[in-house]
Amino acid sequence: MPKTRSVAAKKKCCKDKPRCKKCPVTLKRLTELGYAEREDKRTYSVLTTVPAKALKIARQR
């Protein structure tokens, strides 16, 4: 079983470039890629070892 950590998404995107790691859009994209699971409305369980390439794709604007 891979290790996960619980991450709470921010309420609103801060419009940074690239997006921050707690941005709701980034976490949604990681869920679609299979590296995170949605637990609650704003809480996600994210794998501790997300590949850098996948994180870069999820964070791009």
Span 12-42, pLDDT tens digits: 988 899 999 999 999 999 999 999 999 999 9
* Distance (Å) of CA 57 to CA 1, 12, 30, 39: 25, 20, 9, 22
pTM: 0.92
In this predicted structure, what is the pLDDT of residue 50?
95
DSSP for 16-44 reads: -SSPPTT-HHHHHHHHHHTSEEE-SSSEE
Q: How far apart are CA 48 and CA 45, in angstroms?
A: 9
Location of structure tokens 């999820």: 58
- The conformation of residue 54, written as its DSSP 8-state character, comes to H
Location of structure tokens 């964070």: 59
